[in-house]
């Protein structure tokens, strides 16, 4: 018979006894297909709105962070990460990262990033850099606040992650984040030294790891190294150091 007729195929499929293996597999497949289509379409259609909501949430987060660091009005600036220069337009493009330089496990990063500056009478006081990187089982997203010398950490906060509750999730706790302010990112020679260490953290470049969450802690070290390095905000910070001194 003409098995090419889809209507006939469909009727033959429906007429199969429910416990026939072909019917079982077929129904499972069709239900999964329709459900995944439904979920996918909803997720894609609503993504712009959810992103806008999340952005508004970030704005509140940034203001709260700035408030705890002495207040002021954060000014959003677009920065071309490759050159470190301010730009006025975000083309929305991304740059692939070679795996040996991709410390934070990102795959690719945006070519233009939004940073936030707080100035007192034109003098830079704080700079807030969005950072992210792979933790143990999720992407850690947060803000690194640097003081005007661009080397002293003012704060590190994480606002989004999916780490193990009670272990890696402690990166969002104030108690752990309190270990960051005052730490020095780089040594006198400009080499990035900041790291999260197990055991007792000593010295100005070290922060205590979260016990039981080694991979999360290492992820934080790696994302700090990446975003402060040449593929992250390195060029921007170098340029700021030169220009803000004049």
By the criterion CB under 8 A, which residues form the site for other proteins? Answer: 14, 18-19, 23-24, 27-28, 31-32, 35-36, 38-39, 42-43, 46, 49-50, 53-54, 56-57
Cβ 194 to other proteins shortest distance, Å: 32
Query: For residue 152, what is the DSSP state?
Result: B
Q: 54 vs 101, which CB is nearer to other proteins?
A: 54
Pick from 41, 63, 61, 42: nearest CA to 53: 61
Cβ 167 to other proteins shortest distance, Å: 18
Residue 58: how many CB atoms within 10 A of its CB?
Answer: 16
Cβ 32 to other proteins shortest distance, Å: 6
Q: 18 vs 93, which CB is nearer to other proteins?
A: 18
109 sits in which H/E element? strand 108-110
Cβ 208 to other proteins shortest distance, Å: 29
- Cα Dmax for the chain: 86
Query: For residue 127, what is the DSSP state?
Result: E
Cβ 163 to other proteins shortest distance, Å: 15
Pick from 85, 131, 159, 141: nearest CA to 227: 131
Q: 35 vs 64, which CB is nearer to other proteins?
A: 35
Cβ 53 to other proteins shortest distance, Å: 4
Q: 26 vs 84, which CB is nearer to other proteins?
A: 26
Q: 53 vs 108, which CB is nearer to other proteins?
A: 53
Residue with tokens 């990446």: 226
Buried b (16+ CB within 10 A) or exposed e, 114-141: ebbbbbeeeebbbbbbbbbbbbbebbbb
Cβ 44 to other proteins shortest distance, Å: 10
Q: 60 vs 178, which CB is nearer to other proteins?
A: 60
Q: 50 vs 241, which CB is nearer to other proteins?
A: 50
The whole-angstrom distance between residue 68's C-alpha and the CA centroid of its chain comes to 22
| Distant-in-sequence, close-in-space partners of 10: CB < 8 Å, separation ≥ 6 | none
How far apart are alpha carbons 114 and 125 in whole angstroms? 17
């Amino acid at each position: 018979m003409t098995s090419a007729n889809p209507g006939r195929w469909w009727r033959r499929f429906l007429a199969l006894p429910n416990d026939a293996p072909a019917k079982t597999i077929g129904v499972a497949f069709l239900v999964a297909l329709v459900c995944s289509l439904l979920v996918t379409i909803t997720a894609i259609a609503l993504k712009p709105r959810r992103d806008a909501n999340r952005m508004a949430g970030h704005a509140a987060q940034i203001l709260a962070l700035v408030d705890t660091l002495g207040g002021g009005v954060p000014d959003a600036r677009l920065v071309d990460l490759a050159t470190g220069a301010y730009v006025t337009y975000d083309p929305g493009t991304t740059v692939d990262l070679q795996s040996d330089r991709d410390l934070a496990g990102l795959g690719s990063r945006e070519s233009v990033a939004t940073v936030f500056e707080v100035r007192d009478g034109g003098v830079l006081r704080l700079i807030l850099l969005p950072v992210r990187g792979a933790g143990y089982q999720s992407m850690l997203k947060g803000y690194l606040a640097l003081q005007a010398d661009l080397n002293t950490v003012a704060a590190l906060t994480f606002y989004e992650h999916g780490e193990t509750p009670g272990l890696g999730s402690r990166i969002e706790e104030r108690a752990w984040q309190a270990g960051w302010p005052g730490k020095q990112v780089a040594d006198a020679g400009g080499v990035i030294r900041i790291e999260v260490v197990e055991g007792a953290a000593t010295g100005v470049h070290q922060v205590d790891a979260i016990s039981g969450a080694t991979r999360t802690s290492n992820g934080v070290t790696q994302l700090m190294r990446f975003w402060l390095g040449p593929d992250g905000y390195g060029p921007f910070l170098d340029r700021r150091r030169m220009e803000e001194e004049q």
